Every structure is written in structure tokens, then in C-alpha cells.
Amino acid sequence: GENVEQHPSTLSVQEGDSAVIKCTYSDSASNYFPWYKQELGKRPQLIIDIRSNVGEKKDQRIAVTLNKTAKHFSLHITETQPEDSAVYFCAASKGASGTYKYIFGTGTRLKVLA
Amino acid sequence: DAGITQSPRYKITETGRQVTLMCHQTWSHSYMFWYRQDLGHGLRLIYYSAAADITDKGEVPDGYVVSRSKTENFPLTLESATRSQTSVYFCASSESRKGQYFGPGTRLTVT
């Protein structure tokens, strides 16, 4: 069945360093890949997304890359800050508009050490 | 974010009881979703709906029932709650070309 694997499950970095979270999806028909950030006790919030016709997308300190051939995509956070500490989830969907069901990864707990 | 709300925010119920979790959105989004979140499993889709009166199963639908008589509401019912349904439940909605937006969640404990 459809599956999204996410690594690592936990990640600790020093403030100012970069963090990279990687996801692999199984369904080659997937064409929309959002990333969510969830702070403790809060709802998941969309931080960036990418569609299959784009290889890379950047928004300030956050970037996402997509390799359709290898079926993997990654989240890159540069110049990390303590407020980046949270759980990050990747997801894959077949709906180009993002309205089809998502398959989520199991999450990465990012800790930014001051 | 205030456009999608869930109630109750916290609920404790006993095994075998029926419980309904409410989700309401003010954006008139066509699509709505129910997820459960458990440690080690991330977010798993229970049911989703593409429009009023159109619903479909997700990854973990057993033991749950949904309805969508109005676009803005998408209630989730546990017909006979079990301890394995103790979880945090998130409702989400979306519209074309945009990602899903999540409600604040309902923490359900089944004793």
C-alpha cells in the first residue's frame, strides 16, 4: 500500500546550524508534497509544499527539494533558531491541488540547542 | 486558523459509549478530513469528504462513522468507544490548490 518513510525520527542541532529531514514515498503517482510543523500541544501547520513539476522551492530559511526518480523529498532548514524546535511531518498526495488524501510520515522531532 | 474549530477539546468517555466529535469550518472548503494522531504513528487518515454527502474511508476507518449533511460540518462518531481509540483527533479542511488546514484537535480518552 501507499507509504511514506521519514528519517530521522529525532534530530538535534546547534543553533545556527542546518537541519535536513528526508522522506521517501512509495506511490509514483504522488504529485504533491507538503510539510507540516507541529509545536507541542498545537495543531500541525503547513510551512511549505512542493508539486511534482518543481524540483526545489525556497521560503526564507526553509527549502524543500524533490527527486521524482528516486521518490524522495527533503526539508532543509538553515540558520536554525530555538523556535524551530518542533515535530515536522512530511506527506505525499496524488492530488495536484492538495485536496486528495495525504499519507503522512511518522514525524521528526527537531531540537535546536541554544 | 480560527476558521476551523473542533469540539469538545477534551473528552473522557467509557468503553462502549457512543461519542461524537464535531468539526466546523467557516471557509466553505469543499474537502474535509479526520485524522488521529498517536505516538509512533504520526497522523493517520480516518475518513475524508470531497463535498456534502460524499465521504470515503481512509487508512483506519474501523469503529468510526462520519456524515456530512452541510459543507461546513463534518462530525466523527465513535459508535462504541474502545481503549484503542484513545488518541488526539484532528479535523482538517482544504480547497483547490492549497494545503490542508488543521483544527485545534480533540484529546479523547477512553477508560
Average pLDDT over residues A89-100: 79
Each residue of B75-101: pLDDT tens digit? 999 999 999 999 999 999 998 777 899
Closest CA to B49 of B27, B63, B29: B29
B25 vs A: CB within 8 A:
no
Closest CA to A58 of A46, A68, A49: A49
Residue B65 has pLDDT above 80, yes or no: yes
Average pLDDT over residues A49-74: 94
Nine cell digits for residue A38: 507541529
> Which chain B residues are Cβ-neighbours of A105 within 8 angstroms?
42
Query: B1 to chain A, minimum CA–CA distance in Å?
Result: 9
- Could you tell me the pLDDT band of residue B2, with boundaries at 50, 70 and 90? low
* CA dist., res. A45 & res. A35, Å (int): 8
Considering only residues B42 and A10, tell me which one the structure prediction assigns the higher pLDDT: A10
Considering only residues B57 and A54, tell me which one the structure prediction assigns the higher pLDDT: B57
Each residue of A7-30: pLDDT tens digit? 999 999 999 999 999 999 999 999
Burial class (CB in 10 A: 0-12, 13-18, 19+), B49: buried
pLDDT of res. B62: 97
